[in-house]
Structure formats: C-alpha cells, structure tokens
Structure 1
Amino acid sequence: MEIDTSSPKMIPVLAVLGAVLLWGSAFAAMKHLVETLNPWAVMWLRTGIATLVLTPFTARLAGPVTKGRDRIALALMALFMPCLYFLFESYALTFTSATQAGLVSASLPIMVAVGASIFFKERTSLWGWLGLALSIAGVAALTLTGSPSPNALNPALGNMLELLAMACAAGYMLLVKRLSASYGPWTLTAVQNAAGCLFFLPGLYMLLRDGMGENPLGLLFVAGYLGAFVTLGAFGMYNVGMSRLPAGKASAFINLVPAVAAFFGWMVLGETLTFTQMLASGIIFAGVALAQRGEHIRRDIHALAAYFGHAWQKKATVQVQK
C-alpha cells in the first residue's frame, strides 16, 4: 500500500522523522569535532552557522513575541536547548562514545511523559514510572559496564552528562508544546539559534586562540552540516511536528535516535559495543517498551470499561422500560 506523503497528516510525521535522522547522525559528527576542537568552539560554530543561514529569512518566517509573560518561557526554552543541552552533550562526547551517548538518549521519551504528568497534569500510569526506572537502570548499567577506550576515555562521566542533556531536552520539548500554541516553529527556532550564538560566544575566542587543526576545511564542512542541517533543519522540522502532533506521540519518534546514532557511530567512527553493554542497552529499550506498552494497556482498559459501561447502561434502560 502506498503512503500519500502529500497528506496534511503525513507532513508532521515526515518532519519529525527527518529531524530524528539528522539528530542521530549528529552524535558521530559531534564526536569527530570535539576530538579536535574545544566543545565551546564547536557549539559557537554550530549555532553561529545556523544563525547566519536563518538571518536572511527571519523577518519573513519568524514573528514577534507579543506576550510579555511568554518571554520567561522562551528564555527557559532557549536555556534548556540549545544552551545547556549542547553544553552537556558536547562535553559528554569528549568522554564517551557516540554510540553510548545515542543509547542514553532512549530515555528521553519517558522523561517527556513524566514531565507532562508533573507540569501539564497529563496522567502517567504506573507502567510509565516503572519504565522510567528501568530505563534509568539501563543507563546506569551501560555506564558501570563501560571501560575506558580510545573512543570513550571516561564513559561513566560522559554518560551521566548525556543523561543531564536528555533532561534538558525533555524540558525543551515540554516548553515547545506550550509555546507552539502562540508562536510558529521558525520563531522558536530563531530564538534558539540567537540565544545559543550568544551563550557560546566564548567559543569564538577559543577558536581564534587554538585554531582549527590540520584540516580546517574538513572541520568547517562537518560544522556546516551540524549548523545548517541539524541545528537549523532538525529543530525546525521537529518544531513543525511538535506543533501538530501530541507531545507523547512526537517524543516517541525519539526512540529511533539511538539506532541511527549507533549506525553512524559504527559506519563513520568504527565504534562497537561489548556484550554487557548490549545487555544494558536492551534494558534501556525494555524500559521504553514497558512505558509504551503500559499506555496501550491503559487505553485498552479504558475502552473496555467504556464499552461495558455503555452496555450495562443500555441493559438497565431496557429493563426499566419493561
């Protein structure tokens, strides 16, 4: 059966899938850059290039901030991502492998669901909380079973920093869901890029001080890919998806990021996982699956309850009429 990609319902789905593909490839690209450049320099290049590309279109695509109370939410959104998220992740990739960092990101959808339960009063079932606990246990196992290697000098520290980055990403997604009711996706993206460019401004000094190594053109090409396609394109596409899809459904696509990250880590950097790390990765995915399966079970129970409740009410009505 053919999928109609021109359908309005498919546009946000394809946008989120495109963002996931770009995000998954970013782990290997970031790992390549931080092996040569200071993380602050990498992030200034990344956000600076994104801002440079977006600036000519900002007046046409981005709208003004019309509500004063939204400024705090917009500032928090930009603080979470790109500022703190990129800061934690760029340093994480100096200590752990791109593959392990990508696997840690599997815990993100559950963090979003729990955050929605706390801040938006969206109900999270016991399965969701158990899934979060199991996923965190998997991250801990992945961290404890990791040993120093050329691609992961201190995996314990790197994976913990990546977990902090995921917490920031969850906060960002929840704020975007709220702000997308008032602002378009490119307005939010423009705010993020401008804030990131200012936040990582010390990276410009480090870049001028340290230079770009023996292959500056190659590093600029990778930084351009991250800035123009990942920082700008992926966040723009994900903001489009988040504005038209439920928060839980949009964040569920993030489950694909670890697989994409592992593929690019293997293909580009030659990274592999030990058997115990594969088991730990399985625990992470089991936690995500448990949370999602629990939501399906809860919906089925509610549907059955509604059905039998309706049937009982209908039967009682018939008996009264008799």
Structure 2
Amino acid sequence: MPNNRLAWPAFFALVAATLLWGGSFIAMKIAMRGFSPLLVVFCRMVLASAVFGLLWRRLGGFRAAKGDWPGLVFMAFCEPCLYFVFEAKALTLTQASQAAMVTALLPLLTAVAAAWFLKEKLEGKAMAGLCLAVAGVGVMSASGEATGDAPYPVLGNFLEFLAMCCAVGYIVTAKRLAARHRPLYLTAVQSFTGAVFFAPVLFFTPFPETIAPGPALAVVFLGLGVTFVAYGLYNYGVSRAPAAKAAAFINLIPVFACLLSRVMLDETLTPAQWTGGLMALGGVALSARPGRKTPQEPSRRE
C-alpha cells in the first residue's frame, strides 16, 4: 500500500522547486524581451544539458531497462516538450501572474490521475486543502487586472491550461519511474530530450542583433536555476512523496510568481490578491503538511 507520509527533506525540496518555478514566469517574460519564446526554451535546455553532460559518468549514462524507455520518452514528451510549446506561447498572450494562476488546476488534475493510475488514496484533509488553495488562487486571478503585456489573456490562460494537462502526464509518469531511477537521471532525460526537440528552432528563429544583459541572465537562470535545479528538486520530492501531495505544492507557484512579479515586473497586488495568496498557502499547509511517523509504520530507507 502506498506510503502517504511526506518527509521534511521532500517538503523543503518541493517548496524550493516551486519558488524557482514561480520565478521562471518572470524570468521568461524578461528573456522574451530579447529572444523569441522557443529560442529561450532551446537555450535553457542546452544549458541544463551541458551541466548534465559534465555529470554523465556519475549518472551512469542511459542505462534504463528496456521496458522503461516508453515511460521515459512519454515523460519527456509531456514535459518539457509539449509543456513548453504551450507555455512559451501562453506567456506572449497573458501576464506572468495570470499564467501562474492557472497552475492551481494542476494539483486537482494530478490527484485524480494519481488515484486512477497509481491507486493513491484521496484523503479528505488533502482534498479540503486543495479546494481551499484553488479557491485562493481563484480569488487572486479574479481580482487581477489585464495590462498591455496580456493582449489575449483568455487564449493565453487556455494554452497554460493545456500545459498543465501535459504536466499531469509528466508527474504521474515520473512517480512510476522514480521507483527505479534517481531524480537527477530523470531530470537529465528531460533536458537532453528537450534540447533535441527544440533544436529545429535554430533554422527558423532569428537571432537578436544585440544581446542585452537582462534577457541573457534570465536565460541562464531558466537553464540552470529552473531546468537543472528546480526539476531536480521536484523529481527528488516526487520520488519520496505521493504524486497528489507533491502536486499540491504547485499551488505555491502563483503566490511566489505574484510576489516576484511585483518586485521584478512592477505588477501590483491588490488586497484581494494578498487574501487569495494566504488562502493558497493555507491550503498547501493543510493538504501537504508532513505527517508524523506512527509506531506501526516501518522505517523506510531514503
């Protein structure tokens, strides 16, 4: 029977991953000031792949069992491939904060998928926390105002929803693969596959005549801080937590994104948005708070 307890190392890894992912929306907006969206995605994949290339021996190369290859390919195809196709376009049509709001749908989608495919139990407390978090994000989204950076917010938010559907496939598949593969290995597969998938953009995407420091640094952050570190942390958390509980932390992304958008992009937060953010934080604390090990529960090697 699956272990529903969430240990503290996994808890902190998931929080750190969502903090970096929240910053990725702002970094993507900044990077797109100097580069085309898909070129940004390709560059971040190449940077992460270069780091994994240096760690190749420690990862042991691609030594997956024959039966694991379909799962590895499907995981990487869902995310980063299709995921970033949808999200890169979405961020050209809607605000970074609004796109981050849509990520609140991911935990509920993942909880249903995990119950169906992984036979994970849906706890009443977890579902109540998820509903509270989604309601909080809904308050944040409804109280937000469109700006000139969001010419088609409805379409942009819909594309972000499609990206969340792809993320569900990634999380559920990664949970299965984590039983036999290290988190860094799974992250490396995602990076290498993404670099190959997005390589054709070099043939039809124009390069900027000048490279501004801001967008260039944003690309470096996306490639190393997000694609390498954040995915590694999240894969670690997924490997040591139920998929539904790991996905609950996604509710923190819009909170972090709104806070960082205020600082980096000068987007304002209304009192209603602050209230919604606190609701989202409370929902995550309720649904994904690490539990205590009972005396009857056998110890598990990490």
Same-fold call, TM cutoff 0.5: yes
Pair 1:121-2:119 in alignment: yes
Pair 1:149-2:153 in alignment: no
Identity %: 38
Q: Contact between 2:130 and 2:248, CA under 8 Å: does it hold in 1?
A: no
- What is the match of residue 64 of structure 2? 66
Distance 1:21 1:179 in 2: 24
Pair 1:256-2:245 in alignment: no
Q: Contact between 2:48 and 2:224, CA under 8 Å: does it hold in 1?
A: yes
Distance 2:204 2:11 in 1: 39
Q: Contact between 1:25 and 1:261, CA under 8 Å: does it hold in 2?
A: yes
Q: Contact between 1:42 and 1:203, CA under 8 Å: does it hold in 2?
A: no
Q: Contact between 1:146 and 1:156, CA under 8 Å: does it hold in 2?
A: no
- What is the match of residue 172 of structure 2? 174
Please, which of 249, 264, 267 is the counterpart of residue 268 of structure 1?
264
Larger Rg belongs to: 1
- What is the match of residue 17 of structure 1? 15
- Structure 1: state its 5+ residue gaps: 1-8, 297-322
Q: Contact between 1:80 and 1:171, CA under 8 Å: does it hold in 2?
A: yes
- The amino acid of 1:240's aligned partner reads Y
Distance 1:242 1:125 in 2: 18
Give the 3 Å change call, closer, same or farther, for CA 106–181 of structure 1 in structure 2: same
Give the 3 Å change call, closer, same or farther, for CA 187–263 of structure 1 in structure 2: same
Structure 1 or 2: more helix by fraction: 1
- The amino acid of 1:255's aligned partner reads N
- What is the match of residue 47 of structure 2? 49
- The amino acid of 2:81's aligned partner reads C
Q: How far has the Cα of 1:61 moved from its partner? A: 2.3
Question: What do residues 243-272 of structure 1 show as CA deviations (whole Å, max 9, x unaligned)?
Answer: 122223322222211111001111111123
- What is the match of residue 219 of structure 1? 215
After superposition, where does 1:89-108 map in structure 2 within 5 Å?
Answer: 89-108=87-106
- What is the match of residue 39 of structure 1? 37
- The amino acid of 1:228's aligned partner reads L
Distance 1:13 1:117 in 2: 21
- Structure 2: state its 5+ residue gaps: 1-6, 290-302
Q: CA RMSD, aligned part only?
A: 3.4
Normalised TM-score (structure 2): 0.80
Q: How far has the Cα of 1:176 moved from its partner? A: 0.8
Q: How far has the Cα of 1:130 moved from its partner? A: 12
Q: Report how many residues are paired.
A: 283
Q: Contact between 1:33 and 1:42, CA under 8 Å: does it hold in 2?
A: yes
Q: How far has the Cα of 1:213 moved from its partner? A: 5.0
Normalised TM-score (structure 1): 0.76
Give the 3 Å change call, closer, same or farther, for CA 99–206 of structure 1 in structure 2: same
Question: 3-state SS of the aligned residue for 1:271?
Answer: coil
Q: How far has the Cα of 1:135 moved from its partner? A: 4.5
Q: Contact between 2:35 and 2:215, CA under 8 Å: does it hold in 1?
A: no
